[in-house]
Amino acid sequence: QDLAKARDLYASTILVSHSLGTVVAYDVLRQHATGYNVRTWFTTGCPLARLVKLRQCTTDIGKIALPPAERWENLYDASDVVASALGKAFSYPVHDVHVENGSGIMGSHDYWRNPAVAEIVAKTLK
């Protein structure tokens, strides 16, 4: 619903998703990416590679293609128990960016407290 609203209001959309939200966004975009104008998709704390490994997620990217999405940026902390690099799991050109968010299970999964993550997203918004 929000993607449809953004499509109607703006020439392009930057989608930012986190953790389980990346799985929901992946499912929506796989089926309907051509209906939305997502220029860049940021995944943070994304468990999709683990779900692929467990055969709970397909690597068929469906309607996620070039275009409509121009970039898929995956930000992950190697110590985050949920997240990992995605580039090897998908045929789509995912740009994996390793970041260090903090220590401990919760610290490593808290992407929005990391100034480097905010800066990467902010550069795209400019």
The confidence score (pLDDT) of residue 68 equals 64
Residue 33 — very low, low, confident or very high, per pLDDT cuts 50/70/90?
confident
- Buried b / exposed e along 24-49 (16+ C-beta atoms within 10 A): ebbebbeeebeebbbbbbbbbbbbbb
Q: Which pTM value belongs to this model?
A: 0.90
Q: What is the pLDDT of residues 43-96, one digit of tens each?
A: 999 999 999 999 998 888 888 876 667 899 999 999 999 999 999 898 788 999
Retrieve residue 45's tokens.
Answer: 């704390």
The confidence score (pLDDT) of residue 66 equals 66
CA distance 102 to 121: 19
